[in-house]
Amino acid sequence: MTITLSEAESRRIVARHGVSVSPFVTGSSADAVVEAVNADPNVTYPLVAKLCGRRIAHKTERGLVRLRIADEEALRSASNDLLAATRPEDGEVELLVSSMLPGNRELIAGLTTDPQFGLVAMFGVGGILAEAVRDVSFRLAPLQPIDAAEMIDDLETKQLFGEFRGEPAVDRDALISTLIGLCQAGADLEGFVSADLNPLIIVDGKPVAVDSLVEVESGDEPDERPSR
């Protein structure tokens, strides 16, 4: 049995290993997140607000993501709406508010535990269509920089990595560091099962995770849910 950590927990785990995540704050009420946003100069409007918790693995499907929040009033209203959407089975929840970063390219980086090969890294075209498009590449972790570089070169959609719709080319070294860092995060976390950085968007050429999911063995916390 496995559980998914909340987005905030997941973000902190990958960020500790050098993965760049969009600036964010958390809080349990509209007042708390407004105060936190005002106190953190890195978190800037427009914002994204999400309801997250260990039992909420797929926020978009439940309408628990609010985009393009322009000001404090909108943030309050979105926060209250999200908290009102909480279901009893969600358990402990919190609000996560982050800067909404501009970027047209959505990638995915991930890590999973393969029954044959152990920790396996994945990289590819991300976003909500990731599984439908399936332009992804795998390597066994840990990754050497050359392995990560070749994962990028494996993809069919190579034009995503050059200059793209007025945005600069992707910083390959930053992408390689992200992939290597993600592998280290998985290797260091006890009970690690899998992780997604999806989407990993390209901002000024650098990859930034704007959502993150880490799945771990459930250990002493029994969980009745099937793991999808």
Partner 1 sequence: MSHDLSSLFDPKGIIITGVSSHPGKFGFVVLHNLLASGYQGRVFPVGREPGEVLGREVFGSIDDIPEGAADLVFICTPQSVNEDLLRAAAAKGVTAAFFAAAGYREAGPDGVEAEQRLKALADELGIALAGPNGQGVVSTPSSMCAQIVAPYAPAGEIAVASQSGNFVSSFLNLAHHTGVGISRAVAAGNAAVLGIVDYLEWFADDPATSVSLIYMESIDNGREFFDRVRPLAERQPIVVVKGGASAAGARAAASHTGAMASDDSVFDGMCRQAGLIRARDVEEGFEVAATFATQPLPLGNRTVIVTSVGGWGVAAVDAMAHTSLVPMTLPSDLMEAIDLKLPPRWSKNNPIDMAGGETRDTVPEILEMVATHPEVDSVVFLGLGIQSNTAAMMRGGPFHPDHGLERIVEFHERQDARYATAMSDISQRTGTPIVVATELANAHPDNPGPATLRSLGKMCHASAGRAVRSLDLLTRHAAWRRARGLSA
The stretch among 19-27, 64-72, 73-81, 105-113 that binds partner 1 (CB under 8 A) is 105-113
Q: Residue 66 and residue 98: Cα distance in Å, rounded?
A: 11
The stretch among 22-30, 48-56, 81-89, 103-111 that binds partner 1 (CB under 8 A) is 103-111
Q: Backbone phi, then psi, for 174, in 5-degree steps?
A: -65, -35
* Least separation in angstroms between CB 116 and partner 1: 3
The correct pick among 8, 33, 37, 57 for binding partner 1 (CB under 8 A) is 57
The answer to the question of residue 112 lying near partner 1 (CB under 8 A) is yes
**Is the CB of 75 or the CB of 121 nearer to partner 1?**
121
**Is the CB of 38 or the CB of 227 nearer to partner 1?**
227
The answer to the question of residue 93 lying near partner 1 (CB under 8 A) is no
The answer to the question of residue 99 lying near partner 1 (CB under 8 A) is no
Q: Residue 94 and residue 79: Cα distance in Å, rounded?
A: 10
- Tell me how crowded residue 1 is: count the other CB atoms within 10 A of its CB: 12
Q: Which two tokens stand for residue 38?
A: 């005002």
Largest Cα separation within the chain, whole Å, is: 52
**Is the CB of 97 or the CB of 213 nearer to partner 1?**
213
Residues that bind partner 1 (CB under 8 A): 2, 4, 57, 108, 110-114, 116-118, 120, 122, 124, 130-131, 134, 136-140, 146-147, 149-151, 154, 156, 193-196, 198, 213, 215, 226-228
